[in-house]
Structures are given as structure tokens and as C-alpha cells.
């Protein structure tokens, strides 16, 4: 039985004052059987983790470096993020792949570093609009999986998020058939790669998830939750998504 997960990605949004949203989220009394995660900017991880201590809310990071330490000005290792209170880290988000030129090989190294440091990695992948229109979606995802999946993974250490790039922040959600097709493909690929462990790895959908569409997306087979950007910034938007899990 895979535990449902609603993960919020605040991206480059949030100052100390916004941490009040975490208290408001907890006040909404989320179902403890589901996992709720917020990934604030790195500047807020320590304070957010202190605030969430003893609650069902988990705090994650949005990226990590592949190395454990060294001359990498401005970067943060997975161990540092864990030390600050993070339990999860997003790897391979399409915005990092685009803005920072992250290849599948880099994403794989970051994912392996995250797992080695004791974090759960949320590995993101997904096709561009051009890939989808050209009928290349599953080929692109197969290649991303081949290049970025870690050698060792477990149900507690790896989550895979399907995020079609054209659906991120656009208000344009993938259809339920599109989501179902890709999630079934991901499940089969993970089982082929990791055996029975592949059935324990959670699959999230991401791309313009809102309260209004969350329940129908969560009802799709092999969707174990969502990675949410814009609608995770306030408790008013995010709590109903968590409740729909
Ligand atoms: C994301 O950035 O991962 C995301 C899914 O964003 P949004 O929910 O805003 O589309």
C-alpha cells in the first residue's frame, strides 16, 4: 500500500512571514494517513522544519548539489539540507533543467546524493509541448528514466513526479487519459528496473493541480498524489488539495 503524498513546491517565493501558512495548513487537520510536504526556498527550511516539528508536515528542499562538500559557491549539499531539517528534496525539476542546464546525468547524480544523505528524492520528469505534439512523450520519458534513475532505490527513498512541461504554471492540465497512460508506463518501467520495489515507489502528477481538479486526478490509477507549485503557496489553496488525497 503506497502512502498518498501531496508535495508543495514554493519555488522562489516566500519570506519569513509566509511561514504562517504552515500553521494554517496544520490547523486544517490533514489526514495523518497521507503525507504532506512543503518545499520552501532554502532560506526558510530551518525555520519551517522547527515550526513543523512534532506534526505530520514534512519540509523539503527544491534542489541539492551532487557532491557532499567542496568548492561549489552558492550550492547546498544533501547532507546540509538534512541538517537544516529537510526530509525530502526535489531533483530534476524542469525549471532547473532549463535554467541551469541540468542533464539527466546530473539529475541522477543529485538523486543518488540525496538518497545517500538519507533524504527522499522526488525525481521530476516530463515532456515538452513539442515532444507531445510529435507523439514522442513515452520515448522522452523512457530516455529520462534511463538517464536519471538512481541505481539503488526503495519505496521510502524515491518518488517519481510526472510533470509535463506544458502543464506547469500554465493552467493547462493534462487530460486524465494522458496522466493515466504515462503513470501506467512509469509503473511498468519502474517494476522492470527495480522488481517488486517498483510497485512501492510513489508516482506524483504535477502541472496546474488545483482544488477543482485534484480529486479526479487522484482517482487515476497509479497516481499517488501531486507535486503542486502555485496552489501550494497558501493554506487556503493547498489544504483542500491535501484533503482530496
Ligand atoms: C511545479 O512547479 O512543479 C508545478 C507543478 O507548478 P504548478 O502547480 O504551478 O503548475
Residue 29 CB neighbours (<10 A) = 10
Alpha carbons 185 and 198: distance in angstroms, whole number: 12
Confidence of residue 52 (pLDDT cuts 50, 70, 90): very high
Residue 8 among known ligand-binding residues: no
Question: What local confidence, expressed as pLDDT, does residue 55 receive?
Answer: 93
CA 93 to ligand 1: nearest atom: 3
Question: What local confidence, expressed as pLDDT, does residue 199 receive?
Answer: 97
What is the rounded average pLDDT of the residues 49-65? 96
Query: For the complex shown, is ipTM > 0.90?
Result: yes
**Ordered domains of the chain (ranges, CATH):** 5-243 (3.20.20.70)
Tens-digit pLDDT profile for residues 87-122: 999 999 999 999 999 999 999 999 999 999 999 999
Give distance in angstroms: CA of 226 to centre of ligand 1.
9
Q: How many helices (H) and strands (E) does the chain have?
A: 10, 8
Give distance in angstroms: CA of 94 to centre of ligand 1.
10
Q: Which protein residues are within 6 Å of ligand 1, measured from CB?
A: 9, 163, 168-169, 206-209, 227-231
Question: What local confidence, expressed as pLDDT, does residue 32 receive?
Answer: 87
Is the pTM higher than 0.95? The answer reads yes
Give distance in angstroms: CA of 71 to centre of ligand 1.
31
Residues with Cβ within 8 Å of 53's Cβ and at least 6 positions away in sequence, in order, are 85
Question: What local confidence, expressed as pLDDT, does residue 72 receive?
Answer: 98
Amino acid at each position: 500500500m503506497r502512502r498518498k503524498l501531496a508535495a508543495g513546491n514554493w519555488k522562489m517565493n516566500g519570506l519569513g512571514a509566509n511561514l504562517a501558512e504552515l500553521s494554517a495548513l496544520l490547523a486544517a487537520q490533514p489526514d495523518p494517513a497521507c503525507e504532506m510536504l512543503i518545499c520552501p526556498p532554502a532560506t526558510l527550511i530551518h525555520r519551517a522544519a522547527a515550526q513543523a516539528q512534532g506534526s505530520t508536515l514534512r519540509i523539503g528542499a527544491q534542489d541539492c548539489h551532487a557532491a557532499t562538500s567542496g568548492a561549489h559557491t552558492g550550492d547546498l549539499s544533501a547532507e546540509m539540507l538534512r541538517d537544516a531539517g529537510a526530509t525530502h528534496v526535489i531533483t530534476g525539476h524542469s525549471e532547473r533543467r532549463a535554467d541551469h542546464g541540468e542533464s539527466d546525468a546530473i539529475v541522477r547524480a543529485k538523486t543518488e546524493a540525496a538518497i545517500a544523505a538519507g533524504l527522499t528524492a522526488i525525481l521530476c520528469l516530463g515532456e515538452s509541448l513539442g515532444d507531445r505534439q510529435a507523439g514522442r512523450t513515452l520515448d522522452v520519458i523512457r530516455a529520462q528514466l534511463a538517464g536519471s534513475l538512481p541505481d539503488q532505490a526503495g519505496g521510502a527513498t524515491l518518488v517519481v513526479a510526472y510533470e509535463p512541461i506544458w502543464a506547469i504554471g500554465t493552467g493547462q492540465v493534462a487530460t486524465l487519459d494522458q496522466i493515466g497512460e504515462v503513470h501506467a508506463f512509469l509503473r511498468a518501467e519502474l517494476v522492470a528496473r527495480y522488481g517488486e520495489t517498483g510497485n512501492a515507489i510513489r508516482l506524483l502528477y504535477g502541472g496546474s493541480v488545483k482544488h477543482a481538479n485534484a480529486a479526479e486526478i487522484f482517482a487515476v490509477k497509479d497516481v499517488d498524489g501531486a507535486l503542486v507549485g502555485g496552489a501550494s503557496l497558501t493554506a487556503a489553496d493547498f489544504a483542500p488539495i491535501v484533503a482530496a488525497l
